[in-house]
Amino acid sequence: MAVYSKFSAAQEPRTELHDKLALTGAEVSINNLPAGASVPFFHAHRQNEEIYVILSGKGSAIIDGETVSLAAGDWVRISPAAMRRFFAAEDEAISFACIQVKENSLGSYTVDDAIVPE
């Protein structure tokens, strides 16, 4: 069994990577909305927080009734219970990745989790 997985995402409207990369601790999706389009529904989660990174373009999100402007390079973390919906700008497409993980599940990170050979 390989110790890594690799996948090249096309410009599909939505690509979920849990199956494509055999993810075991997170869900990651790549999302592409053309100008003027939106995710067709509001949603929240039971346990998972979502971390969004705007890869290109601009748009907005409505998060618990508050409109948040978004542009390439922005990162947004949303608590599980918050209702959210994403929109592309009227004049520009938006591409974003969403990383979904169980809230409060991170035990260690970066250097605390690293193994550095001597």
Instruction: Tell me the residue length of the chain.
Output: 118
CATH number at 69 reads 2.60.120.10
pTM over 0.75: yes
* Residue 67 φ then ψ, to 5°: -85, 125
pLDDT digits (tens, 9 = 90+) for 45-56: 999 999 999 999
pLDDT digits (tens, 9 = 90+) for 5-62: 888 887 888 888 888 898 999 999 999 999 999 999 999 999 999 999 999 999 999 9
Inside any domain, residue 70: yes
**In which band, very low, low, confident or very high, does the pLDDT at 65 lie, cut at 50, 70 and 90?**
very high
Q: What is the mean pLDDT of the segment spanning 84-101?
A: 97
Distances (CA, A) of 118 to 3, 7, 109, 115: 21, 32, 20, 9
Number of structural domains found in the chain: 1
Contacts of 27 (CB under 8 A, 6+ apart): 16, 17, 18, 48, 98, 99, 100, 101
Inside any domain, residue 108: no
Distance CA 29, CA 100 (A): 8
Full residue range of the structural domain in which residue 61 is found: 14-99
